[in-house]
Amino acid sequence: MAIEYQSRRRVHEALERAATLLRSVLQRKRNVDLEHDRIPEREARENGMTLVEMAVTLPVLFAFLFCFMELSLAFYTYNMISETAREGTRYAMVHGASCPTSANPTCKATAAQVDAYVLGIGWANLAGGTMTVCTYYNNNACNTNPTGSEAVGNPVKVTVTYVFPISMPFVPNNSLTIKSTSQMTIIQ
């Protein structure tokens, strides 16, 4: 009888523990259901926060994007004017004082002709700025003696200046002057 009593008592304790565990699980489930009922309110608040975060970050993102585009355009422009300066000196170095051809006894290029050649190359002017060219021979300063000596062995220098317009708001300087110079020696 004592063994039977102990067995019943152990079963009863086990059932009590199971009931307590079941009550705690149900209590948690009820809390979860109550929290679940509150989720739409929380989501509505989070949607409002998302709109505020987007309103704050989107202008900053666009500012960085447009700044990057303007900077890329400035680098392209510098590459363009340095290439036009090199093309101008190449043209001048092969059209020196002793440049005979069968059609023309001398194909000598003056500084004005080199300037016209450089301006007529036709690189894409994506920034919409203005380009000026100055060609000078024999180490003279620009515009002091533009004709100079086109003799073989003398240097020719082409300077291209470009005024790059900056089209960004809140930038104090509305233009940037970019300059590139190329120098070569006349070979014919």
pTM for the whole structure: 0.65
* Mean pLDDT along residues 32-56: 68
Instruction: Compute the Cα dihedral for 118, 142, 97, 184 and give only its sign.
Output: negative
Number of domains in the chain: 1
Q: Do the domain assignments include residue 160?
A: yes
Residue 18 included in any domain: no
Check: CB of residue 108 under 8 Å from CB of residue 151: no
Q: Does some domain include residue 112?
A: yes
Residue 162 counted as domain residue: yes
Burial class (CB in 10 A: 0-12, 13-18, 19+), 178: buried
30 pLDDT more than 60: no
Q: Is 24 within a domain?
A: no
Residue 86 has pLDDT above 80, yes or no: yes
Confidence of residue 1 (pLDDT cuts 50, 70, 90): low
DSSP string, 125-167: -SS--EEEEEEEETTPPTTTSSS----TT-EEEEEEEEEEE--
CA-to-CA dists, residue 37 to 24, 25, 45, 78, 149, angstroms = 20, 18, 15, 62, 91
Q: Answer whether residue 158 is part of any domain.
A: yes
The predicted pLDDT at position 180 comes to 93
**Residue 11, in any domain of the structure:** no
What is the DSSP code string of 79-121? HHHHHHHHHHHHHHHHSSTT---SS-S-----HHHHHHHHHTS
CB 186 within 8 A of CB 157: no
In tens, the pLDDT along 98-108 reads: 766 666 666 77
The domain of 121 spans 45-185
Exposed (0-12), middle (13-18) or buried (19+): which is 47, by Cβ within 10 Å?
exposed
